[in-house]
Amino acid sequence: MKDTEIKRLLSANVICIFSIIITTVLPSLFLKNFSLLGTHLTWLCICSATVGTVNVVLHIILNPNPSSRRSSLAHKVARFLRSCVYFFMSCILFHGIIVLYGAPLIESVLETFLFAVLLSTFTTLHCLCLLGPNIHVWLRVFSKNGAMSIWDNNLQITSMCSVVGAWLGAFPIPLDWDRPWQVWPISCSLGATLGYVSGLLFAPLWIYWNRKKLTYKSR
């Protein structure tokens, strides 16, 4: 049973990776002057939107956490609205944290915010899809021995990788190489994306290697 789960996870992750690759390649066919570095903001929007949509669709198709009880439409709508609010709040929170880390406060607000949206897409959106709008469950999952399925492990690894990638992306900014990708926030968003992709690749592998050790309590 576990192996099939891992296969499902892997296929889902591979689809995510493909969606990211497509967002970097495909728009140049439709949009004039599109390039990853030159029109970075456009790419940020496209990438966030695509990854978000793909995640939601994948979640609906694969449905990793099938809930037993059926909920009413009103309940579903409320859940959806709450999720939207949560996502927006996480964008704001990420924006705040980025500014506290040293990003300019007033100049390039749009860039910072779009970067925050990208980070939220990589982390919060996953949480929302998988765990629902429930902070306590999130906090539980993001702690030692908190994962209850391989999906939770996957969530831990990808989120951490994207955040660490964004953090590492800040390192080349002060260097005096005068490269176009050293401009805020390009290196950070690229770092986050690369981190996310490597997390997507690494998570199934890690789970596969540790499949003997991973025992999950039932919910």
Partner 1 sequence: NARSAHACSKPLSVSFFPCRMQRAPVLLFLAWTCFLFFSAIGLFTSGFLLMRVELANHSSCSDALASPFRVDFGSCWLPRRFSRAILLIIDALKFEFARFDPSLREPHPYENKLGFLHELAIGQPRYGRLFRFRADPPTTTMQRIKGFTTGSLPTFIDAGSNFASYAIQEDNLVWQMAQNGKRVVFMGDDTWDGLFPGAFFRSYFFPSFNVKDLHTVDDGILQHLYQTVDGGEWDLLIAHFLGVDHCGHKHGPDHPEMAKKLSQMDEVHCLTTLANDTLLLVAGDHGMTGTGDHGGDTEEEVNAALFVYSKVPLFPAPPEPQTVPQVNLVPTLALLLGIPVPYSNIGEVMDDLFATEGDTATSVLAQLAAYNVNARQVDRFLHTYSLAAQDIPAEKLGRLQSLFSATVEEHEQVMAQAGFPELPQLERLRGQFRRYLWEARAVCAESWARFHPVRMVSGCALLTSSCLLCYIASRVSAGLSFSYRRLLWYPFLWGAAGAAGAGAMHLSGVATTDLLLLCSWAATASQVGFFWHCWAGHAGRSHAASARLPFGGLGLRQRLRVGLVPALGILLLRCGAMFSDSFVMAESQVVPFLLMSSVLLFVLGLHWNGPLREGSTKSWWLLGFLGIIVLTARLSGLFQQCREETPACRSSTLLAPLSKLQDPQAKNLSYALCLAVLASLAWGMRCWMRHYGNLNSPSAPVCFVRWGFPLLALGVGGFWAVTSGSEDDLAKLHAWVQLALVSFPRGVFALGAVGLLLLLCDPVTVFVRDSRNADPAMGAPIVSPSSQAELLHVIPQLYRRMQETLRSRLDAGKDRDRATVEAYGLGSVYSAALLIFLALLGFLLMMLHSERLSLAFLLLFLEAFALLWMQAYAVALSSSTSSSESEMFCCVNAYAVLLLYCNVFHPPLFSHLAPGSIYLVFLALHSICITFQINWFSSYQFSSLSHRWTTTQIAVGCPLLLLWPFLCEMPRSKGGKPKAEVSDREEQMMEMRLREAPEKFSAALLQLGLKYQIVLGAQLLACVLAAIILRRHLMVWKVFAPKFLFEAVGFVVSNIFLLLGIGLVMRVDCAVSAWFKRVILAQSR
Instruction: Give the residues lining the site for partner 1 (CB under 8 A).
Output: 99-102, 139-140, 142-144, 167, 170, 174-176, 178
Contacts of 154 (CB under 8 A, 6+ apart): 9, 13, 203, 204, 207
Least distance from partner 1 to the Cβ atom of residue 42, Å = 27
**Between 66 and 174, whose beta carbon lies closer to partner 1?**
174
Least distance from partner 1 to the Cβ atom of residue 165, Å = 14
Distance CA 181, CA 189 (A): 10
Least distance from partner 1 to the Cβ atom of residue 100, Å = 5
Structure-block tokens of residue 139 = 């906090």
Least distance from partner 1 to the Cβ atom of residue 163, Å = 10
**Between 8 and 140, whose beta carbon lies closer to partner 1?**
140
**Between 23 and 156, whose beta carbon lies closer to partner 1?**
156
CA-CA-CA-CA torsion sign (75, 81, 85, 87): positive
CB 213, CB 187: distance < 8 Å: no
**Between 167 and 202, whose beta carbon lies closer to partner 1?**
167
